[in-house]
Amino acid sequence: MDGRTLGAWAAAMLALGCTRPAEERARRDLEIGQADVAGTSVTVEGGLAAIRRAAPGELLLWQSAPVTRLRIVRAAGAPDDWTLEVRNALPDLQLEAEHGSAPLTVTAVDRPIVTHKEFRVRLPAGESTLSLTTPDAAEPSAWRFAVMSDVQEAIGEVQDIYQKVNAEPGVRFLLGAGDLTQQGSVSELSRFELELRSLQVPYYTTLGNHELGNTPPPYQDLYGRGSFSFVFREVRFTLLDSASATLDPLVYGWLEGWLAQGKGSVHVVAMHVPPLDPSGLRNGGFGSRAEAAKLLSRLAQGSVDLTLYGHIHSYYGFENAGIPAHVSGGGGAIPERFDDMGRHFLVVDVAASGVSAVRVVRVD
């Protein structure tokens, strides 16, 4: 072995590793919710909806959050009649539109699927603000949401879970921590959306490692950002893209802001790969134990109230850095054996005053 051979070995070894595998996705997150079409620019605040189609006078959005604000700047020669189709919407979603401080007339059009909405609005030239919201968006009283992750190859049986979620009274939306599909291809993601039509509430989710089977992953084009934060009924939700068993340093920068904004309110944080696997021998957590501790230290400093994870195909309730934590990977992917858990989802009771209960609902 000469020096050159050793050098080649070392270079090959270095090439195998990649210390920022989520960087490209984080940068793409910044582009979500922006479009320019026919002299009109559209911006979704916080990237909380993916713009699936932008044509003159026509927008198709996929919502990642219950409440979304759009800023639309229309040039003088651009069309003024706009149709806004919103998918993954709360059944009681409304559109409030303003031009300056003047309200604009909005017409809602009935759609057969309860989570699909359509609105028509005439936009004057210049900047208009469109708010997609619900009557209870600012209510501080108790409400509930459900949590379900890790469907993967079990997409054919996911209707069993949706039926049970639909039967749970008072659930406003389903929160997901990724692994909707097996490989994350466009056809798998489309199938997932097709199956969602029977779910009576929207499904707000981040992505999991099983959405990374294609390069670049098409997930963000269809379902929006991997890392984002929103507030509903005075509870802050932050979803983080930990699909590569790490958070990109860009995401830590955003997280700092979201933690500061959520400091005075109830804050729920969800991501796919947990920082620490409750079974450390398996290490289904972050690639670096030190990074896991860094993230948990920040979440604790930010007074986060609840952490929700997927990735591990069972249920674990525990604490990390003193924060209540729940791993729930019960969407149907190959289950963890010998624990008698199987398919399940969580129902979380929450209010502006805190998280009052987390309940496991078995499906099988």
Partner 1 sequence: MLPLLCITACSAAVASGQPGLTDAEWQRDGGAPQTSEPAPEPDRSDELDPAARLREVAIAVGPGVIVHGLGQHRAGRPEAARKLLVAEAVGLGLTAVGLSGLALTGASRYTVAPLALTTMAGVGLFATSWLTDVYAVARPAGSEGAAPRFAPRLVSEMGYRHVADPQFPYRHFLMHRFELRVGKLALEPSGWFALDENNARLRLAARYRLAGATPGRPCVDGTFWDLELAGTHHRYDHDGFRIATGEASTRVRLDLARRHAAFRGAFVQGGAGFALQRTAYDVPAVSIPADWSEMLLGELGFGFYFGEPARYDGEVRLFYDHRHDGYAAGMLMPGLGSGVIGHLGLDAVGFFGEQLGLRAEAQVGAAVVTGLSLVVRERRH
Question: What is the binding site for partner 1 (CB under 8 A)?
Answer: 1, 5-6, 9-10, 13-14, 16-21, 183, 209-210, 212-213, 215, 243-246, 248-249, 252, 273, 276-291, 293-294, 296-297, 300-301, 303, 312-314, 319-322, 334-339
Minimum Å distance from CB 302 to partner 1?
10
Q: Pick the closer one to partner 1 by CB: 102 or 281.
A: 281
Q: How far is CA 95 from CA 43, 84, 132, 179, 223, in A?
A: 16, 9, 5, 31, 21
Minimum Å distance from CB 64 to partner 1?
23
Q: Pick the closer one to partner 1 by CB: 297 or 353.
A: 297
Minimum Å distance from CB 276 to partner 1?
6
Of the CA atoms within 13 Å of residue 323, those in its CB half-sphere come to: 29
Of the CA atoms within 13 Å of residue 333, those in its CB half-sphere come to: 23
Q: Pick the closer one to partner 1 by CB: 149 or 246.
A: 246
Q: Pick the closer one to partner 1 by CB: 1 or 76.
A: 1
Question: Helix (H) and strand (E) counts for the chain?
Answer: 7, 22
Q: For residues 34 and 43, is the Cβ–Cβ distance under 8 A?
A: yes
Minimum Å distance from CB 313 to partner 1?
5
For the chain, what percentages of helix, strand and coil (3-state, to nearest 5) are there? 25, 35, 40
Q: Pick the closer one to partner 1 by CB: 88 or 314.
A: 314
C-alpha Rg value of the chain to the nearest Å: 21
Minimum Å distance from CB 161 to partner 1?
18
Q: Pick the closer one to partner 1 by CB: 40 or 149.
A: 149
Closest CA to 146 of 188, 176, 105, 183: 176
How does 256-266 read in b/e, with b if 16+ C-beta sit within 10 Å? eebbeebeebb
Minimum Å distance from CB 330 to partner 1?
12
Distance between the two ends of the chain, CA-based, in angstroms?
A: 59
Q: Pick the closer one to partner 1 by CB: 79 or 287.
A: 287
Letter for the amino acid at 323? I
Residues contacting 20, CB < 8 A, separation 6+: 246, 248, 249
Q: For residues 10 and 235, is the Cβ–Cβ distance under 8 A?
A: no
Q: Pick the closer one to partner 1 by CB: 226 or 285.
A: 285
Minimum Å distance from CB 273 to partner 1?
7
The SS3 assignment for 290 reads: helix
d(CA 29, CA 134): 25
Minimum Å distance from CB 280 to partner 1?
4
Letter for the amino acid at 67? V
Quick one: tokens of 43? 């911006």
Q: Pick the closer one to partner 1 by CB: 111 or 294.
A: 294
Minimum Å distance from CB 66 to partner 1?
30
